[in-house]
Amino acid sequence: MAESAEQVHARVRAVADEHGRVPLPSVASWDVFPWEVVDGALAAKPLAAPGPEEPREGEGGVDCAACADGPRGVIWANDRWRLRHLSERSGLPLVLILEPSAHLDLPDLDDAMAAEHGVLAVRIARVVEGLPNIARCHVQRIGDGAEHLHTWFMARTAGLSSIRGSFAVDWDDILPPGPEDVWLGDLAAVAERLAAYDGRAVPLDD
């Protein structure tokens, strides 16, 4: 069962500094991070000059990690889709990625696959939001980094008011990961409940 807000708060405060802060995550140094400190005050960075689009990983199916490496961290699959976890635990209770088995981007899905994507998104959100201590399962597709469709499902702890809204993505990088046994238990619960609809739960040590 996912940690309660009180358990998360106590665990984070135990490793935080005297002001309650944990170290700045690496995302703060990324060029796309939109904020910077100017003369001691937080400011938006200047908009960079226009330029060519950065190539995405796996464009045209060439050197696609999702295809070449085979599925890793998969917790559930059917004939056309798989749901996997990130290779490492992160700050939010669960971060899951739904992707097609075939090399397809979102606009590439035919109507049948698009319908399946929608049904699966609803089922995953329903299952994750049904876990104890989870208030919300955020669903998003961005796709600027890699061409192979990967739709994100990010679980937010109930009762942690700092982590509401789209900044949950940032908190996933900020917060230290929770206990591994809790994470594994939640992954197994999600896989089993999804398999009750369709597909199969994949053992976590596969």
> Closest approach of Cβ 61 to Zn ion, in Å?
6
Phi, psi of 44 (to 5 degrees): -75, 140
Q: Does 146 bind Zn ion (CB under 5 A)?
A: no
Cα three-residue angle 86-153-13, rounded to 5 degrees: 70
> Closest approach of Cβ 188 to Zn ion, in Å?
27
> Closest approach of Cβ 106 to Zn ion, in Å?
13
Q: What share of the chain is helix, strand, coil (3-state, %, to 5)?
A: 35, 20, 45
Burial environment of residue 173 by CB neighbours within 10 A (0 to 12, 13 to 18, 19 or more):
middle
Residue 82 or 103 with smaller CB distance to Zn ion? 103
User: How many residues belong to the site for Zn ion (CB under 5 A)?
Assistant: 6
> Closest approach of Cβ 67 to Zn ion, in Å?
3
Q: Could you identify the residue written with the tokens 């971060």?
A: 95
Half-sphere exposure (Cβ direction) of 204: Cα atoms closer than 13 Å? 15
Residue 143 or 185 with smaller CB distance to Zn ion? 143
> Closest approach of Cβ 145 to Zn ion, in Å?
13
Q: Could you identify the residue written with the tokens 């798989």?
A: 82
Residue 150 or 193 with smaller CB distance to Zn ion? 150
Q: Does 148 bind Zn ion (CB under 5 A)?
A: yes
Phi, psi of 24 (to 5 degrees): -65, 130
> Closest approach of Cβ 117 to Zn ion, in Å?
16
Residue 67 or 97 with smaller CB distance to Zn ion? 67
Cβ neighbour number for residue 111 with a 10 Å cutoff: 7
Among 103, 123, 138, 193, binds Zn ion (CB under 5 A): 103
Q: Does 156 bind Zn ion (CB under 5 A)?
A: no
Distance from chain centroid for Cα 84: 10
Contact in structure between 71 and 84 (CB atoms under 8 Å)? yes
Torsion, Cα 196 198 199 204, to 10 degrees, reads -30
Residue 6 or 108 with smaller CB distance to Zn ion? 108
Among 5, 67, 86, 204, binds Zn ion (CB under 5 A): 67
- Binding characters for Zn ion, 47-66, by CB under 5 A (x = yes): -----------x-----x-x
Provide the binding-site residues for Zn ion, judged by CB under 5 A.
58, 64, 66-67, 103, 148
